[in-house]
Amino acid sequence: MSDSTLTMTVIIPSYHRPENLRHCLEALARGRRLPQETLVVLHEEDEASQTALLGLSEIAEKVNLRTILVAQAGQVLQMNAGLAEARGDVVCFTDDDCLPHEDWLERLAAPYADPEVSGVGGRDVVYHEGVRSERAGRVVGRISGCGRLLGSHHEVFPPGLREVQHLKGANMSFRRSRMVPLDPRLVLGPGDSPMNDTDLSLSVGEGGGRLLYDPEAQVDHHPAPRHGITHRDPSRPEQAYIDGHNWAYLICKHFPAWRRAVFMAYALLVGSSNRLGLVKFLVTALRGPRVAGRQYLATCRGLRAGVRDWRGAQAELRTEAQGGPR
């Protein structure tokens, strides 16, 4: 099947950001290639966004808009609700605070002419207070041997397709036939579940086929405040717990025993800037020992909980394979 005959679905989860959502849809409607369907997934009590969509009849017709209402907010639940309704050969995701470029869907679609390609993503060009980030990247979409998540999908890379292990939720697409529902065991953070895009990417990759990153398939990303949330602060113990949990759960789920052992040693002894291991804790404690201590302990609790929940998921799978409870 050539890329010109592929049908494309775009899924946009949104929560109480009607103006951002309107701008996103307007940008999508200016595209040189239009989706066969666009699914906006809203919380049922988000009346402001539902009302905003009613005033976009011309745009709605161009992008073949359908609105899906869910009873419970949360990015994973919303994405899964959209995926359950999607009918396109390729399912594309973006955020409501992103503005797709005119050639966005064209560029995402082109690599699918190769049947070995299972997913394609691109760059989200991040703007902070109107200033465009132009930091050069070195590695994109990889996971190191010790479990470090190397994203950098928002950074600048020379033109050309690159094979990656994971894509970014603000700008990613997959063949629908190779997708699985997003994992609800990833703990919900402030308005989203960190690493759900990485988990989905790894699951698709394990099902066969290549994941590609095209730095010229771009959306402009103007990060907007989440409803009822001031900002995502990784130094808060609650956020450190979530980050540690999802990190451990993700690595345990997708990698063999020896990689899990290396990861746990790295996570506990070194860590990262928002998931403190012992070394990162000692460095951070120089600036504020009390805050660093709470963040470090919360990360450790999150790591243990992530391993525990992965083991629980494995036990559930074994029970299902044996025909359920006896």
Q: Report the SS3 class of residue 156.
A: strand
Domains of the chain (ranges plus CATH)? 8-221 (3.90.550.10), 237-317 (no CATH)
232 or 287, greater pLDDT = 287
Terminal-to-terminal C-alpha distance of the chain = 46
Task: Retrieve residue 41's tokens.
Answer: 């997934």
Where are the strands (E) in the chain, listed by range? 8-13, 37-43, 65-70, 90-94, 98-100, 117-128, 131-132, 142-143, 149-150, 162-164, 171-175, 210-221
**Amino acid at the residue 283:** V
Q: How far apart (Å, rounded) are the C-alpha atoms in residues 23 and 34? A: 16
Q: Judge contact between 299 and 276, C-beta under 8 A.
A: yes
pLDDT at 21 over 80: yes
Question: Which residues contact residue 256 at a Cβ distance below 8 angstroms, ignoring those fewer than 6 apart?
Answer: none
Percent of the chain exceeding pLDDT 90 equals: 81
The predicted-structure confidence for 202-255, as pLDDT tens digits, reads as follows 999 999 899 999 999 999 999 877 765 545 566 688 989 999 999 999 999 999
**Amino acid at the residue 243:** D
pLDDT at 4 over 80: no
The predicted-structure confidence for 154-208, as pLDDT tens digits, reads as follows 999 999 999 999 999 999 999 999 999 999 899 877 656 679 999 999 999 999 8
